[in-house]
Amino acid sequence: MIKNPPAPSGPGRPKDPAKREAILMAAQVLFLNNGYEGSSMDAIAAEAGVSKLTLYSHFKDKEALFGEAVKTTCETRLPRRLFVLEDGCEFRSVLLDIAHAFHELVISPESIGLHRVMVAMATQNPALSQMFFDAGPQKLLVDLEQMLDQARQRQLLNVPEPMRAAEHFCSLIKGVAHFRLLIGYAEQPDAADMKRHAEDCVDLFMRAYTREPLTVD
Protein backbone atom coordinates (compact mmCIF):
# COMPACT_ATOMS: atom_id res chain seq x y z
CA MET A 1 0.00 0.00 0.00
CA ILE A 2 1.45 3.32 -1.13
CA LYS A 3 1.27 6.08 1.43
CA ASN A 4 0.83 9.71 0.51
CA PRO A 5 4.03 11.73 1.02
CA PRO A 6 4.10 13.91 4.11
CA ALA A 7 3.22 17.59 3.81
CA PRO A 8 6.22 19.78 3.16
CA SER A 9 7.70 21.53 6.13
CA GLY A 10 10.10 24.37 6.81
CA PRO A 11 10.83 26.90 4.08
CA GLY A 12 8.90 24.88 1.52
CA ARG A 13 5.54 25.20 3.29
CA PRO A 14 2.96 27.51 1.73
CA LYS A 15 3.05 30.98 3.27
CA ASP A 16 0.01 32.17 5.19
CA PRO A 17 -1.50 35.22 3.39
CA ALA A 18 -3.16 36.40 6.62
CA LYS A 19 0.22 36.54 8.37
CA ARG A 20 1.74 38.36 5.41
CA GLU A 21 -1.01 40.97 5.59
CA ALA A 22 -0.52 41.33 9.36
CA ILE A 23 3.21 41.86 8.82
CA LEU A 24 2.60 44.53 6.17
CA MET A 25 0.10 46.35 8.38
CA ALA A 26 2.48 46.25 11.34
CA ALA A 27 5.32 47.53 9.15
CA GLN A 28 3.24 50.46 7.93
CA VAL A 29 2.30 51.44 11.49
CA LEU A 30 5.83 51.25 12.84
CA PHE A 31 7.56 52.85 9.87
CA LEU A 32 5.21 55.83 10.11
CA ASN A 33 5.36 56.16 13.89
CA ASN A 34 9.03 55.37 14.51
CA GLY A 35 10.70 56.01 11.17
CA TYR A 36 12.66 53.48 9.15
CA GLU A 37 15.71 53.24 11.40
CA GLY A 38 13.57 53.21 14.53
CA SER A 39 11.58 50.16 13.38
CA SER A 40 13.38 46.88 13.98
CA MET A 41 12.35 43.55 12.52
CA ASP A 42 11.89 42.31 16.09
CA ALA A 43 9.40 45.10 16.78
CA ILE A 44 7.55 44.50 13.51
CA ALA A 45 7.26 40.78 14.26
CA ALA A 46 5.91 41.55 17.74
CA GLU A 47 3.43 44.10 16.37
CA ALA A 48 2.22 41.59 13.78
CA GLY A 49 1.97 38.78 16.33
CA VAL A 50 4.30 36.46 14.41
CA SER A 51 7.70 34.95 15.06
CA LYS A 52 10.89 36.33 13.52
CA LEU A 53 11.19 33.08 11.58
CA THR A 54 7.77 33.69 10.04
CA LEU A 55 8.66 37.29 9.30
CA TYR A 56 11.85 36.35 7.49
CA SER A 57 10.09 33.58 5.59
CA HIS A 58 7.95 36.30 3.97
CA PHE A 59 10.53 39.08 3.64
CA LYS A 60 14.28 38.58 3.40
CA ASP A 61 15.18 41.87 5.11
CA LYS A 62 13.78 45.21 6.28
CA GLU A 63 14.37 46.95 2.95
CA ALA A 64 12.34 44.32 1.12
CA LEU A 65 9.56 44.66 3.69
CA PHE A 66 9.60 48.44 3.37
CA GLY A 67 9.39 48.31 -0.42
CA GLU A 68 6.50 45.85 -0.32
CA ALA A 69 4.65 47.98 2.26
CA VAL A 70 4.90 50.99 -0.03
CA LYS A 71 3.84 48.96 -3.08
CA THR A 72 0.87 47.42 -1.25
CA THR A 73 -0.34 50.81 -0.02
CA CYS A 74 -0.26 52.23 -3.55
CA GLU A 75 -1.96 49.20 -5.08
CA THR A 76 -4.71 49.35 -2.46
CA ARG A 77 -5.37 53.07 -2.88
CA LEU A 78 -4.77 53.13 -6.66
CA PRO A 79 -5.92 49.73 -7.97
CA ARG A 80 -5.04 48.75 -11.53
CA ARG A 81 -8.70 48.81 -12.59
CA LEU A 82 -8.60 52.62 -12.45
CA PHE A 83 -6.15 52.65 -15.37
CA VAL A 84 -8.20 50.45 -17.70
CA LEU A 85 -9.86 52.17 -20.67
CA GLU A 86 -13.05 50.26 -21.37
CA ASP A 87 -14.62 50.54 -24.80
CA GLY A 88 -16.98 53.50 -24.92
CA CYS A 89 -15.83 54.93 -21.60
CA GLU A 90 -15.90 58.67 -20.92
CA PHE A 91 -12.24 59.57 -20.67
CA ARG A 92 -12.80 62.57 -18.40
CA SER A 93 -14.54 60.29 -15.89
CA VAL A 94 -11.59 57.88 -15.95
CA LEU A 95 -9.17 60.73 -15.25
CA LEU A 96 -11.43 62.05 -12.49
CA ASP A 97 -11.48 58.69 -10.73
CA ILE A 98 -7.67 58.56 -10.84
CA ALA A 99 -7.40 62.19 -9.72
CA HIS A 100 -9.68 61.64 -6.71
CA ALA A 101 -7.88 58.44 -5.67
CA PHE A 102 -4.40 59.91 -6.11
CA HIS A 103 -5.28 63.13 -4.28
CA GLU A 104 -6.78 61.21 -1.35
CA LEU A 105 -3.62 59.10 -1.20
CA VAL A 106 -1.01 61.87 -1.32
CA ILE A 107 -2.72 64.08 1.28
CA SER A 108 -3.59 61.22 3.65
CA PRO A 109 -1.86 61.30 7.05
CA GLU A 110 -0.17 57.99 6.19
CA SER A 111 1.30 59.35 2.95
CA ILE A 112 2.39 62.63 4.52
CA GLY A 113 4.06 60.68 7.33
CA LEU A 114 5.83 58.39 4.87
CA HIS A 115 7.10 61.34 2.83
CA ARG A 116 8.54 62.87 5.99
CA VAL A 117 10.29 59.58 6.76
CA MET A 118 11.81 59.51 3.28
CA VAL A 119 12.97 63.13 3.46
CA ALA A 120 14.67 62.35 6.78
CA MET A 121 16.35 59.29 5.23
CA ALA A 122 17.34 60.92 1.93
CA THR A 123 20.99 61.61 2.76
CA GLN A 124 21.45 58.56 4.98
CA ASN A 125 20.19 55.83 2.66
CA PRO A 126 19.89 56.83 -1.02
CA ALA A 127 19.24 53.20 -1.98
CA LEU A 128 16.15 53.19 0.22
CA SER A 129 14.94 56.40 -1.43
CA GLN A 130 15.26 54.74 -4.83
CA MET A 131 13.39 51.67 -3.58
CA PHE A 132 10.59 53.88 -2.26
CA PHE A 133 10.28 55.79 -5.53
CA ASP A 134 10.34 52.64 -7.68
CA ALA A 135 7.77 50.83 -5.51
CA GLY A 136 5.34 53.76 -5.28
CA PRO A 137 5.55 56.92 -7.41
CA GLN A 138 7.33 55.33 -10.36
CA LYS A 139 4.81 52.50 -10.58
CA LEU A 140 1.96 55.02 -10.63
CA LEU A 141 3.70 57.02 -13.37
CA VAL A 142 4.18 53.90 -15.51
CA ASP A 143 0.52 52.86 -15.12
CA LEU A 144 -0.58 56.38 -16.02
CA GLU A 145 1.85 56.56 -18.93
CA GLN A 146 0.46 53.34 -20.41
CA MET A 147 -3.11 54.55 -20.06
CA LEU A 148 -2.33 57.93 -21.64
CA ASP A 149 -0.60 56.15 -24.51
CA GLN A 150 -3.76 54.13 -25.08
CA ALA A 151 -5.73 57.39 -25.05
CA ARG A 152 -3.33 58.78 -27.67
CA GLN A 153 -3.77 55.71 -29.87
CA ARG A 154 -7.55 56.10 -29.65
CA GLN A 155 -7.20 59.81 -30.44
CA LEU A 156 -8.77 60.81 -27.14
CA LEU A 157 -5.84 63.08 -26.30
CA ASN A 158 -2.92 64.63 -28.11
CA VAL A 159 -0.10 63.23 -25.94
CA PRO A 160 3.22 63.13 -27.83
CA GLU A 161 5.15 62.10 -24.68
CA PRO A 162 2.91 60.08 -22.33
CA MET A 163 5.44 59.91 -19.48
CA ARG A 164 5.89 63.69 -19.43
CA ALA A 165 2.12 64.08 -19.48
CA ALA A 166 1.82 61.61 -16.57
CA GLU A 167 4.32 63.69 -14.59
CA HIS A 168 2.35 66.85 -15.38
CA PHE A 169 -0.89 65.22 -14.23
CA CYS A 170 0.54 64.03 -10.91
CA SER A 171 2.16 67.41 -10.25
CA LEU A 172 -1.15 69.16 -10.85
CA ILE A 173 -2.98 66.86 -8.46
CA LYS A 174 -0.43 67.19 -5.66
CA GLY A 175 -0.46 70.96 -5.94
CA VAL A 176 0.60 73.31 -3.16
CA ALA A 177 -1.75 71.67 -0.65
CA HIS A 178 0.52 68.64 -0.43
CA PHE A 179 3.53 70.79 0.42
CA ARG A 180 1.59 72.73 3.06
CA LEU A 181 0.56 69.47 4.72
CA LEU A 182 4.10 68.14 4.49
CA ILE A 183 5.50 71.04 6.49
CA GLY A 184 2.55 71.12 8.91
CA TYR A 185 1.28 74.47 7.64
CA ALA A 186 -2.31 73.41 6.87
CA GLU A 187 -5.06 70.98 7.86
CA GLN A 188 -6.69 68.34 5.69
CA PRO A 189 -9.02 69.90 3.07
CA ASP A 190 -12.69 69.01 3.24
CA ALA A 191 -14.51 66.83 0.71
CA ALA A 192 -15.85 69.78 -1.28
CA ASP A 193 -12.40 71.33 -1.70
CA MET A 194 -10.92 67.98 -2.73
CA LYS A 195 -13.64 67.44 -5.32
CA ARG A 196 -13.19 70.92 -6.78
CA HIS A 197 -9.41 70.54 -6.90
CA ALA A 198 -9.60 67.23 -8.76
CA GLU A 199 -12.11 68.58 -11.28
CA ASP A 200 -10.07 71.74 -11.89
CA CYS A 201 -6.90 69.71 -12.48
CA VAL A 202 -8.56 67.26 -14.86
CA ASP A 203 -10.18 70.06 -16.85
CA LEU A 204 -6.87 71.92 -17.10
CA PHE A 205 -5.03 68.76 -18.12
CA MET A 206 -7.57 67.90 -20.81
CA ARG A 207 -7.55 71.44 -22.21
CA ALA A 208 -3.77 71.23 -22.48
CA TYR A 209 -3.74 67.84 -24.21
CA THR A 210 -6.80 67.97 -26.46
CA ARG A 211 -5.40 70.61 -28.78
CA GLU A 212 -2.40 70.88 -31.05
CA PRO A 213 0.76 71.88 -29.15
CA LEU A 214 1.93 75.44 -29.61
CA THR A 215 4.93 75.89 -31.88
CA VAL A 216 7.55 78.60 -31.60
CA ASP A 217 8.93 80.10 -34.84
Residue type, 150: Q
Can you give the pTM of this predicted structure? 0.83
Q: Indicate the angle between helix axes 17-34 and 109-121, nearest 10 degrees.
A: 70
| Interior angle at CA 145, CA 140 and CA 149, nearest 5 | 155
Exposure pattern of 50-71 as b/e (b: 16+ CB <10 Å)? beeebbebbbeebeebbbbbbb
Residue-level pLDDT, tens digit, the chain, 217 residues: 444 444 444 445 567 899 999 999 999 889 888 888 889 999 999 999 999 999 999 999 999 999 898 888 888 889 989 999 998 889 999 999 999 999 999 999 888 988 888 888 888 888 888 988 998 899 999 999 999 999 999 999 999 999 999 999 999 999 999 999 999 998 899 999 999 999 999 999 999 998 655 444 4
CB within 8 Å of 21: residues ≥ 6 apart: none
